[in-house]
A and B are shown apart, each in its own frame.
Chain A
Amino acid sequence: DAGVIQSPRHEVTEMGQEVTLRCKPISGHNSLFWYRQTMMRGLELLIYFNNNVPIDDSGMPEDRFSAKMPNASFSTLKIQPSEPRDSAVYFCASSSKGKSNQPQHFGDGTRLSIL
């Protein structure tokens, strides 16, 4: 049973470049979450989708960040242009939301370094 799959696992790029992080949620899950983990702020929710529709993007730091979910099995988080302060580990998580609260399942993250 495949878990949440993120790619790439590591990304090193120069400031100003566009960065695209990818996520494949667990099949059948209808909610998808993007988080950023830094030493200073811990795990922060950036945006989440329910049934492919963005529900809350209040955690997206600024307009340089954008996220899409074109279908139930794929999402992207894009940073354009990237800056050194965007360096962090980015996690994607998915869950199945019904009447009861189901835990989110996380991918192994993308470690992003902006030089």
Chain B
Amino acid sequence: DQQVKQNSPSLSVQEGRISILNCDYTNSMFDYFLWYKKYPAEGPTFLISISSIKDKNEDGRFTVFLNKSAKHLSLHIVPSQPGDSAVYFCAASWASGTYKYIFGTGTRLKVLA
């Protein structure tokens, strides 16, 4: 039973355009969401997070949107750069779960120069 789903295993985007990565979740108890980026042979690196009391959080070129009614979040990268090519994981946690993370299976983003 996968509580956090990333239905697109891969995505290709032209440099300079917007990349949109999507994530769906099923557990309404989740109250904190994160995106991690992972390069080959490295560990995941924290990118951006959002609390369930917000619907948007922005950090430079990265914006995360949360739609609680649809149980959906997305990561927007504008403009996309070749260095953004990586695997992106979304994760969810909940306070009553003592902040344990549930990860999605990842989306491989390729930004074409």
The interface of chain A, by Cβ under 8 A from chain B, is: 4, 31, 33, 42-45, 48, 50, 55-56, 91, 93, 95, 97, 101, 103-109
Cβ-defined contact, A55 with B93, below 8 A: no
Once A42-B104, A50-B98, A56-B98 are accepted as A-B contacts, the answer to whether A104 and B46 lie under 8 Å apart by CB is yes
Does the CB pair B43–A101 fall under 8 Å?
no
Count of interface residues, chain B, beta-carbon cutoff 8 Å: 23
Given contacts A43-B103, A48-B100, contact A108 B95 (CB under 8 A): no
Q: Is the CB of B105 within 8 A of A107?
A: no
Chain A residues, CB < 8 A from B46: 103-105
Q: How far apart are the CA atoms of A45 and B101 in the complex, in Å?
A: 8
B interface residues, Cβ below 8 angstroms from A: 32, 34, 36, 41-46, 49, 51, 89, 93, 95, 98-106
Count of A-B residue pairs with CB < 8 Å: 49
A91 to B100, CA, bound (A): 15
Given known A-B contacts A43-B89, A48-B100, A55-B98, A4 and B105 have beta carbons under 8 A apart: no
Q: How far is the CB of B63 from chain A (nearest CB, A)?
A: 17
Chain B residues with Cβ under 8 A from A108's Cβ? 41-43
User: Which residues of A are found within 8 Å of B51, using beta-carbon distances?
Assistant: 101
Could you tell me the distance between the alpha carbons of A56 and B100 in the complex, rounded to whole angstroms? 9
